[in-house]
Structure 1
Amino acid sequence: MSRAPEFSYRLEVQDLPSKGVRVKLEADEKERAALAKRLGLVSLDAFKAEAEVKPWRKSGVSVRGHFTAEVTQSCVVTLEPLQDSVSDSFEAYFLPESDLTPVNPQAEIHVDLDDAHDPDPLDDGGIDVGELVSEHLSLAINPYPRKGDAEFSPVVEDDGKTDGKREDNPFAVLGKLRRQDD
Structure 2
Amino acid sequence: MSMPEFSRRIALDTVGEGGRDVAVEADADERQALARRFDLYALDRLDATARLTLRSGIVHAEGTLHGTGAQRCVVTDAPVPVLIDEAFHLRFVDDAPEGDEIELSEEDCDTLPLDGNAIDLGEAVAETFALALPPFPRAPDADAVLRAAGVKSEEEAGPFGSLAALKDKLARGE
TM-score, structure 2 normalization = 0.76
Residue in 1 aligned with 2:67? Answer: 69
Aligned-pair distance for 1:136? 0.2
Q: Is the 8 A contact 1:93 1:117 kept in 2?
A: no
Structure 1 unaligned segments of length 5 or more: list them: 156-182
Q: Is the 8 A contact 2:89 2:110 kept in 1?
A: no
Distance change (3 Å), C-alpha of 1:121 and 1:76:
closer
1:27-66 aligned at under 5 Å gives the runs 27-57=26-56, 59-66=57-64
Deviation string, structure 1 residues 61-104 (Cα, Å, up to 9, x no partner): 1111111111111211121112121121111112222xx5x535
Computing the radius of gyration from Cα coordinates, the structure with the larger value is: 1
CA distance in 1, matches of 2:120, 2:50: 12
What secondary structure sits across from 1:54 in the alignment? strand
What secondary structure sits across from 1:6 in the alignment? coil
Which of these residues, 113, 118, 121, is aligned with residue 129 of structure 1?
A: 121
Letter in 2 for 1:55: L
Distance change (3 Å), C-alpha of 1:74 and 1:111:
closer
Structure 2 unaligned segments of length 5 or more: list them: 151-174
Distance change (3 Å), C-alpha of 1:47 and 1:16:
same
Q: How many residues align?
A: 148
Distance change (3 Å), C-alpha of 1:110 and 1:83:
closer
CA distance in 2, matches of 1:119, 1:48: 20
Letter in 2 for 1:14: D
CA distance in 1, matches of 2:109, 2:67: 26
Distance change (3 Å), C-alpha of 1:109 and 1:7:
closer
Distance change (3 Å), C-alpha of 1:60 and 1:76:
same
- Where is the helix percentage greater, Structure 1 or Structure 2? 2
Aligned-pair distance for 1:141? 0.8
Give the RMSD, CA atoms, in angstroms. 2.3
Aligned-pair distance for 1:116? 5.7
TM-score, structure 1 normalization = 0.73
